[in-house]
C-alpha cells in the first residue's frame, strides 16, 4: 500500500478531532447543568417567570491582541481635554500616541477611529455628545454634558 502515510495522517487527525468533540461535549454538559441551576433559582424568586422569553445573548468576539483596546471612558476623557471639537480620527491619534502606539500607522489609526466612532454614536444616542460637520466631511465631536 502506497497510501500508508496518508492513512496514518488521517487517522491521527480523526483521533484529534474526536478528542476535541469529546472535550467540547463535556464542557457543553457542564453549561447545560449550570443553565438548569440558574433556571431553578429564577423560579424560586419568580415562579411565574417565562424562561423562554429570555433571549440568548451572543458572546462578544475576543479582543484583537494587535489592536489596543480603547474604551468609551477614554474617548470621553479625550473629549474633555480637547480644546476644540476633534474628529474621531484625531481622537484616535491622540489616544494611540498616549498609549505608546505608532500614531503614524494609518491602518491602526483607521481601526481605532472606527471603534471610537461607534462609541461616540452610542453616546450621541444618550445625548452625551454632539457631532458638528467639519472640513472634509468629517464630524467634529463635543460633549453636551459634563
pLDDT at 63 over 70: no
Question: What does the radius of gyration of the chain's CA atoms come to, in whole angstroms?
Answer: 25
Is the pTM higher than 0.85?
Answer: no
pLDDT tens digits, one per residue of 103-113: 788 888 898 99
Which pLDDT score, from 0 to 100, does residue 1 have? 54
pLDDT exceeds 70 at position 140: yes
- Sequence-distant (6+) residues with CB within 8 A of 34 are none
pLDDT tens profile 20-60: 999 999 999 999 999 999 999 999 999 999 999 999 998 87
Q: What is the pLDDT of residue 76?
A: 93
Could you give the C-alpha distances from 4 to 10, 22, 46, in angstroms and in order?
A: 10, 27, 62
Tell me which fold the domain 72-143 belongs to: Arc Repressor Mutant, subunit A (1.10.10)
Residue spans per domain, the chain: 4-53, 72-143
- The 3-state secondary structure of the chain reads CCCHHHHHHHHHHHHHHHHHHHHHHHHHHHHHHHHHHHHHHHHHHCCCCCHHHCCCCCCCCCCCCCCCCCCHHHHHHHHHHCCCCCCHHHHHHHHHHHCCCCCCCHHHHHHHHHHHHHHHHHHHHCCCEEEEECHHHCEEEEECCC
Amino acid at each position: 500500500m502506497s497510501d500508508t502515510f496518508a492513512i496514518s495522517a488521517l487517522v491521527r487527525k480523526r483521533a484529534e478531532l474526536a478528542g476535541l468533540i469529546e472535550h467540547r461535549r463535556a464542557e457543553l454538559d457542564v453549561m447545560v447543568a449550570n443553565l438548569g441551576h440558574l433556571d431553578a433559582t429564577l423560579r424560586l424568586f419568580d415562579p411565574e417567570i417565562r424562561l423562554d422569553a429570555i433571549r440568548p445573548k451572543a458572546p462578544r468576539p475576543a479582543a484583537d491582541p494587535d489592536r489596543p483596546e480603547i474604551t468609551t471612558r477614554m474617548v470621553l476623557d479625550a473629549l474633555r481635554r480637547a480644546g476644540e471639537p476633534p474628529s474621531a480620527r484625531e481622537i484616535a491619534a491622540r489616544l494611540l500616541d498616549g498609549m505608546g502606539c505608532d500614531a503614524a500607522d494609518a491602518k491602526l489609526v483607521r481601526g481605532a477611529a472606527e471603534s471610537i466612532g461607534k462609541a461616540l454614536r452610542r453616546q450621541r444616542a444618550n445625548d452625551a455628545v454632539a457631532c458638528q460637520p467639519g472640513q472634509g466631511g468629517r464630524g467634529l465631536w463635543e460633549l453636551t454634558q459634563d
